[in-house]
Structure 1
Amino acid sequence: MTQVLLCGAIIVTLSMGIRHGFGLWLQPITQEQGWTRQTFAFAIAVQNLSWGVFGIFAGMLADRFGAFRVIIVGALLYALGLVGMALSPTGLLFTLTAGLLIGAAQAGTTYAVIYGVIGRNIPAEKRSWAMGVAAAAGSFGQFLMVPVEGLLISSLGWKQALLVLGGAVLLIAPLAFGLREKSFGGGSAAPREQTIVQALKEALKYPSFQLLMAGYFVCGFQVVFIGVHMPSYLRDKGLSPQVASYALALIGLFNDFGTYIAGSLGQRLPKRKILAFIYLARSVVIAVFLLAPLSPASVYIFSSLMGLLWLSTVPVTNAAVAQIFGVAHLSMLSGFVFFSHQIGSFLGVWLGGLLYDRTGSYNIVWYITIALGVLAALVNLPVRESAIVRPRAAGLPQGA
Structure 2
Amino acid sequence: MSIFRFPLLVWLGIGILIVCLGIRQSFGIFMMPISEYFGTGREFFSFAIALQNLLFGVFQPFVGMAADKWGAKRIIILGAISYAAGLYLTSIAVEPSMLYLSLGVLVGLGLSATSYVIVLGAVAKVVPAQHTAKAFGLTTAAGSFGMFAMIPGAQTLMTHFDWQGALQAFALLCTAMIAFAMFMKSSKSSEQSKQALDDSQTLKQALSEAFAHKGYWLIHAGFFVCGFHVMFIATHLPSYLADKSLPASSAAMALAYVGIFNIFGSYFWGVMGDRFNKRHVMSALYFVRTLVIGAFVTLPVTEQTAAIFGAAIGFCWLGTVPLTSGLVRQIFGARYLSTLYGLVFFTHQVGSFLGAWVGGRIYDHYGSYDPIWWSTVILAFAAALIHLPINDKPVARLAMQN
Deviations 1:126-146 (A, max 9, x none): 111000000000111101111
Q: Which runs of 5+ in 2 are unaligned?
A: 1-5, 189-194
Which residue does 2:37 correspond to in 1? 32
- Pick aligned residue for 1:5 from 10, 21, 30: 10
The 8 Å contact of residues 332 and 398 in structure 2, kept in 1 or not, is answered as no
2:96 counterpart letter in structure 1: G
Which residue does 2:388 correspond to in 1? 381
Mapping 1:251-400, distance limit 5 Å: 251-390=258-397, 398=401
Deviations 1:236-281 (A, max 9, x none): 1100000000000000000001000011111110111111111121
CA gap 1:91/1:205 in 2 versus in 1, 3 angstroms: farther
- What TM-score do you get using the length of structure 2 for normalisation? 0.95
1:95 counterpart letter in structure 2: Y
CA gap 1:298/1:193 in 2 versus in 1, 3 angstroms: same
Mapping 1:164-243, distance limit 5 Å: 164-182=169-187, 192-243=199-250
Q: Distance in 1 between matches of 2:284 and 2:390?
A: 14
Aligned residues: 390
Q: Distance in 2 between matches of 1:295 and 1:235?
A: 11
Which residue does 1:103 correspond to in 2? 108
2:396 aligns to what SS in structure 1? Answer: coil
Q: Distance in 1 between matches of 2:57 and 2:401?
A: 29
The 8 Å contact of residues 56 and 111 in structure 2, kept in 1 or not, is answered as yes
1:324 counterpart letter in structure 2: I
Q: Distance in 2 between matches of 1:127 and 1:238?
A: 44
Q: Distance in 1 between matches of 2:294 and 2:183?
A: 43
2:40 aligns to what SS in structure 1? Answer: coil
Range 25-34 or range 88-97, more displaced: 88-97
List structure 1 segments (4+ residues) > 3 angstroms apart after TM superposition.
189-192
Deviations 1:340-384 (A, max 9, x none): 100000000000011111111111110111111111111111111
Could you tell me how far 1:182 is from its partner in structure 2? 4.5
1:390 aligns to what SS in structure 2? Answer: helix
Could you tell me how far 1:150 is from its partner in structure 2? 0.8
The 8 Å contact of residues 3 and 178 in structure 1, kept in 2 or not, is answered as no
Could you tell me how far 1:293 is from its partner in structure 2? 1.3
User: Quick one: percent identity of the two aligned structures?
Assistant: 40
Kindly report the root-mean-square deviation, in angstroms, between the aligned alpha carbons of the 2 structures.
Answer: 1.4
Q: Does 1:50 align with 2:55?
A: yes
Could you tell me how far 1:391 is from its partner in structure 2? 8.7
Could you tell me how far 1:86 is from its partner in structure 2? 1.1
1:35 aligns to what SS in structure 2? Answer: coil
Q: Distance in 2 between matches of 1:115 and 1:177?
A: 17
Q: Distance in 2 between matches of 1:101 and 1:20?
A: 16
The 8 Å contact of residues 117 and 179 in structure 1, kept in 2 or not, is answered as no
Q: Distance in 1 between matches of 2:47 and 2:355?
A: 10
The 8 Å contact of residues 262 and 312 in structure 1, kept in 2 or not, is answered as yes
Could you tell me how far 1:190 is from its partner in structure 2? 6.0
Q: Distance in 2 between matches of 1:100 and 1:398?
A: 42
Q: Distance in 2 between matches of 1:313 and 1:391?
A: 24
Which residue does 2:3 correspond to in 1? none
Q: Distance in 2 between matches of 1:332 and 1:391?
A: 17
Q: Distance in 1 between matches of 2:219 and 2:22?
A: 25
1:266 aligns to what SS in structure 2? Answer: helix
Q: Distance in 2 between matches of 1:204 and 1:153?
A: 46
Range 14-23 or range 85-94, more displaced: 85-94
Which residue does 1:112 correspond to in 2? 117
Q: Distance in 2 between matches of 1:138 and 1:22?
A: 14
1:136 counterpart letter in structure 2: A
Which residue does 1:23 correspond to in 2? 28
1:267 aligns to what SS in structure 2? Answer: helix
Q: Distance in 2 between matches of 1:125 and 1:345?
A: 31
2:237 aligns to what SS in structure 1? Answer: helix
Q: Which runs of 5+ in 1 are unaligned?
A: 184-188
- Pick aligned residue for 1:60 from 61, 65, 78: 65
The 8 Å contact of residues 139 and 252 in structure 1, kept in 2 or not, is answered as yes
Q: Distance in 2 between matches of 1:89 and 1:214?
A: 39
Could you tell me how far 1:282 is from its partner in structure 2? 0.8
Could you tell me how far 1:291 is from its partner in structure 2? 1.0
Q: Distance in 2 between matches of 1:78 and 1:179?
A: 19
2:401 counterpart letter in structure 1: Q
1:229 counterpart letter in structure 2: H
Q: Distance in 2 between matches of 1:180 and 1:33?
A: 44
